[in-house]
Amino acid sequence: MSTIITRPKAAPAEIIRDASMAKQKDMLARHYDRLCDAPQTGEKVCATFVPGNLNELIMCFDMVNNLPEVNAIQSGLRKQSGGYVMESEKLGHSEDVCTYVKSDIGMMAKGNIGPNGRKLPNPDVLLLSYTGCFTFMKWFELLRQQYQCETIMMHTPYLGDGKITPEMIQYMVKQLKQDVIPTLERVSGVKFDIDRLRENLRRSAKAEEDHIWVLQSAQNKPSPIDAYFGGIYYVGPIFGAFRGTDDAIDYYKFLRQEVEERIRLGKGPVTPDGDMPQERYRLVVEGPPNYTHFRQFWKMFYDEGAVVVASSYTKVGGTYDYGFRHDPDRPLESLAEYCLNVYTNRNLPMRVDMLVDYINRYEADGLLINSIKSCNSFSAGQLLIMREVEKRTGKPAAFIETDLVDPRYFSAANVKNRLESYFQMIEQKRSSSSFAA
C-alpha cells in the first residue's frame, strides 16, 4: 500500500527586483502592447535580429520592431518554449538545430501569442541583419515563407582578420543606401530623413555611455552588479527596441544612479532572493545563459557567493568596451561599425583577447563557459578558447553545457556538480598561490 504525502503549499518566495528592473518591465510591456496594437494603429512592423539591429534606422520610418530572439527568450522564461520547440520538431524541423528558431516557429504554429498574452502581428518587412550568426539567414528564409513579406538582406562581413576595413564599411553603407533604406521607405511610406537618424544616434550614444558605465562598475569590489544574470536585464533596452529613444536614456540614467548608490553602500548585486551578502568568487562568463531555468541557474551562483563580473553574452548586441559609440556625424558608417563590432562577429583570437582582458581588468578568479547546444556561433571553438584563456591568465576555467530555450538540455544536478567542483578548484588555486607567495 502506498502512502500519498501531501506537501504543505508554501507561498512562492517573492522575487526581489530593484527599481530599474520594474522600470524595464514596464517599458517592455508598453513595447509589446504597441506591437500588438499595430494592426489597429496602422504602425508597420519590422522583424529583425538583436545582433546588428538597426533600431535607430527603423525608428526613422515610424516602424515598430519585433525581435524573434527576444520572443523566444520570453517563451523560455515563461516555460512555454519547450512545447514550442517540440511543436516545431513535429512540423519537421531537426532536433539538431537552434532552439530559438524552433521556439519561434512553434509559437507561430500555436497562434503566435506574445508574452503579454496577445497575438503578435505579422511583420510587414523582415530586416535580416546577417551579423555573427549563420542561422539568422535560414531563420528569416523560413519566416519569409510563412509571412510572404518583403525581406531585406543586410550582410555584415565577419572580422576574419581581426579588423574592420574601409571596404567593409563601404559595402555596408552601400547596402544601407541601395537596399535597406529604399525598401523601408517603400514598406512604410515614410521618406528617410538623415537628420532624424542623427538625432536617434545621438540619443543612442548617450544611453550607451551610462550602459557601459554600469557594466564596467563590476570592476569594484564587491561588484555592485552581476554582469551576466543581472547583465541580461541591463542590456534589454539597449539591445532591443529602445536604443535611440528617450526611454533608453532615462532607463540607463536611472540604472546608473541605482548602481552608484549600491557602490556607495558597499553592496553586492541584487538577486531574486535579495542582496548578495558576500562576494566569494568573481567570474567571467562566456556564452549565453539558459532561459528555461534562469532563476535556478542563477541561484547556483549566488548561493555560493559567485558573482559574474564580465560576460561576453552582454556584448552580443553591441560591444561598447573599446570605445565604440553610435556617431551622429557619421550616421551610416556608424551603423555599419556597430554591426561589425558585435561579439559573435569577432574572430576567435579577438574573442580570446577580450576574455583575457576581462579576467585581468575585472580581477576575476577565472573563466566559466556555458556552452549552448543551440548556438554554434558561440559554441564552436569554446574548448580551445578555454585552453587559451587558461594558458594566458593562469586562472582556472570550467565548462558547462545547457541550452537557450530547450528545457530538455538543462540538467540541474550536472550543472550544479560542475559548478561546485569549479569553485573548489578556485579555492585550491588560491591556497596554492598564497602558499607559494
Partner 1 sequence: MLDKAKPTTAPIVERCQALFSDLTFEAQRAWKEAKPGRKVVGFLPYYAPRELVHAAGCLPIGILGGGDQLEVIHGDAYYQSYICRIPRSTVELGVSGRLDFVDGMLFPSICDVIRNLSGMWKLMFPQKATRYVDLPQNFTMDIGVPFYAQELREVREFLEQIVGKPITDDEIRNSITLFNENRRLVREVYKLRAEMPWNLPSSEVYLLMRAGLLTPVEEHNAMLAEYMSLAQQMERPLKDNSRVVISGAFCEQPPLNLIKSIELAGCYIVDDDFLVVNRWEKSEVATSGDPLENLARAYISDSTSIAPKYEPNPKIKGKYLIDSVRENGAEGVIFAMPSFCDPALLDRPMLQSALKEANIPYIGFKYAENTGQMQPVREQAGTFADSIKLWSGQ
Cα angle 40, 43, 47 (rounded to 5 degrees) comes to 115
Considering only 18, 37, 43, 179, the residue that binds partner 1 (CB under 8 A) is 179
Distance CA 119, CA 368 (A): 38
**182 binding partner 1? (CB under 8 A):** no
Considering only 35, 46, 101, 415, the residue that binds partner 1 (CB under 8 A) is 101
**383 binding partner 1? (CB under 8 A):** yes
Distance CA 391, CA 63 (A): 48
Shorter beta-carbon distance to partner 1: residue 319 or 382: 382
Considering only 348, 361, 412, 425, the residue that binds partner 1 (CB under 8 A) is 348
Distance CA 323, CA 300 (A): 33
DSSP 312-361: SGGGTT---TTS----TTSHHHHHHHHHHH-GGGB-HHHHHHHHHHHHHH
Q: Nearest approach, Cβ of 252 to partner 1 (angstroms)?
A: 31
**274 binding partner 1? (CB under 8 A):** no
Shorter beta-carbon distance to partner 1: residue 334 or 379: 379
Q: Which three cell numbers stand for residue 98?
A: 537552434
Considering only 155, 267, 416, 418, the residue that binds partner 1 (CB under 8 A) is 155
Three-state SS for 221? Answer: coil
Shorter beta-carbon distance to partner 1: residue 129 or 200: 129
**18 binding partner 1? (CB under 8 A):** no
Q: Nearest approach, Cβ of 373 to partner 1 (angstroms)?
A: 5
Shorter beta-carbon distance to partner 1: residue 32 or 130: 130
Q: Which three cell numbers stand for residue 409?
A: 538540455
**Residues 224, 267 contacting (CB under 8 angstroms):** yes
Considering only 67, 73, 108, 133, the residue that binds partner 1 (CB under 8 A) is 133
**Residues 410, 290 contacting (CB under 8 angstroms):** yes
DSSP 20-41: HHHHHHHHHHHHHHHHHHHHHH
Contact footprint for partner 1 (CB under 8 A): 91-94, 96-98, 101, 130, 133-135, 137-139, 141-142, 144-145, 148, 151, 153-155, 157-158, 160-161, 167, 171, 174-175, 178-179, 347-352, 371, 373, 376-377, 379-384, 388, 401
